[in-house]
Amino acid sequence: MRPNMFIDITIRVSNASSLINLRVAFDAINDHRLPLAPLVYTLVRPSVMSERSFFEKQKLTGPNFIDWYRQLRIVLLIDDKLHYLEQPIPPVPEAPEGQQVAPEIFAAHTAWVKGSKEIAGLMLMNMEPEIQQNLEPLHANEMLKELKTLFAQQTEQELLQTTRDFHSCRQKEWQSVSSYVLKMKGYIDNLERLGHP
């Protein structure tokens, strides 16, 4: 019987503090002739991969705010973290006098703050340094509001174009009802995203 050989796999996740170390028995892989790549893929969350591709493709430079924001929303939607971006951090729970805040309520608030900081970090890492400078102390929702203010003109132009497209959209003869409804829903979703439901 030969000794077990191990493969050490280190995976660095989006922030430097998250490091996943795995030790996989090489014999287990080799004896079953399993390729290593699918094993690693299943161990790495797809959301980490989506965040990584977001980092590689999209950096906020200013003129690309609308596209950058759309991509950020998609990444956060995949990770089920969009609410941290779209909702402000709830106020710190305060107990009535003589009582204590329930631990689960305090834990939920702490988790919300942590999630907001994580999203804010993701946003900051995907911005040009000139844009980052004034946004660093903000949480995700505050940062989004500030960015929307900075790039309001772009948002207004997209809003105007989306409104025009919505009102001029007609179902074509050959077009199925479902594709027409999906197109209209896309316009409505875009209007909501731009703050005009």
Measured in residues, the chain has a length of: 197
Q: Tens of pLDDT along 46-74?
A: 444 455 565 556 788 888 888 888 889 98
Tell me how many degrees the CA angle 64-130-17 measures, rounded to the nearest 5. Answer: 95
Residues 6+ apart with CB under 8 A from 63: 154
Q: Tens of pLDDT along 114-123?
A: 999 999 999 9
Whether 10 and 19 have beta carbons less than 8 Å apart is answered as yes
User: What is the pTM (predicted TM-score) of this model?
Assistant: 0.56
Q: Tens of pLDDT along 68-81?
A: 888 899 889 998 99
CA distances from 143 to 19, 65, 135 (A): 27, 13, 6
Give me the phi and psi of 20, to 5 degrees please: -110, 120
Residues 6+ apart with CB under 8 A from 95: 101
**Cβ neighbours, 10 Å, residue 191:** 16
Tell me how many degrees the CA angle 88-90-92 measures, rounded to the nearest 5. Answer: 140
